Amino acid sequence: MADISLVPAPVLGGFQQTFATCSLAERIDIALISIAIPRQGKDALTQGISARWALDMPGATKMTQANGLRAIPLTADQFLLAFTPENERTEASVQADLEGIGYTTVQTDAWVILELSGKGSIAALERICPLDLDLEVFPNESASRTVMDHLGVLIARLADDRFWLMSARSSAASFLHAVDTSCRWSAI
């Protein structure tokens, strides 16, 4: 029998680019698991993630984080759980933790995550993102679905000038082109 080992293959090859006032990089170290709330199960799931992970449920546009886990809202009854490998969690361990109180689906290979950071990040986003990203309107730890260059995107604000831009893996090259072009033209 052949000795086969699997290695992760970043969809954009681990893209990283630094511009004059911002940086753009593919995040290949983030695991994503969607968690759906069962019908009439919000209270049980809320209590479960609080007891197991000390994590609060995300709000409609507000992320929560604790112990290396980040809950990113998707819909009224679903959110993404994001974490890095140092967290020592797996899809199986999350499923075990949520058995009977939440439905899980691995999403790591379904999304591409670009991290945009630096003082020029807002200028770059203003060209392609229709959301008002003023800190009073879209504060740190906010998340929202939107479009960028006609592509569906989930934007998460991690800090004043640090964002995760998430889109479907199937359109990753087009998404990178849109964001990269905006950075090149506006973050000078």
Report yes or no on 61 lying in a domain. yes
pLDDT digits (tens, 9 = 90+) for 90-112: 888 999 999 999 999 999 999 99
pLDDT of amino acid 92: 87
Domain of 104? 31-109
Report yes or no on 1 lying in a domain. no
**Domain count across the chain:** 2
Global pTM exceeds 0.85: yes
- Determine contact, residues 94/48, Cβ cutoff 8 Å: no
Tell me how many helices (H) and strands (E) the chain has. Answer: 4, 11
Residues pairing with 167 in the sheet:
112, 153
Looking at the structure, tell me whether residues 95 and 147 fall in a common domain.
no
pLDDT digits (tens, 9 = 90+) for 14-63: 999 999 999 999 999 999 999 999 999 999 999 999 999 999 999 999 99
- Give the separation between CA 149 and CA 147, rounded to whole angstroms: 6
Report yes or no on 4 lying in a domain. no
**Domain of residue 117, CATH code:** 3.30.1360.120
Q: Residue 25 corresponds to which tokens in the numbers above?
A: 């990089």
| CB-based contacts of 63, cutoff 8 Å, min separation 6 | 70, 71, 72, 73, 141, 142, 143, 156
3-state helix, strand, coil in the chain (%, to 5): 25, 35, 40
- Give the separation between CA 14 and CA 28, rounded to whole angstroms: 7
- Give the separation between CA 127 and CA 77, rounded to whole angstroms: 31
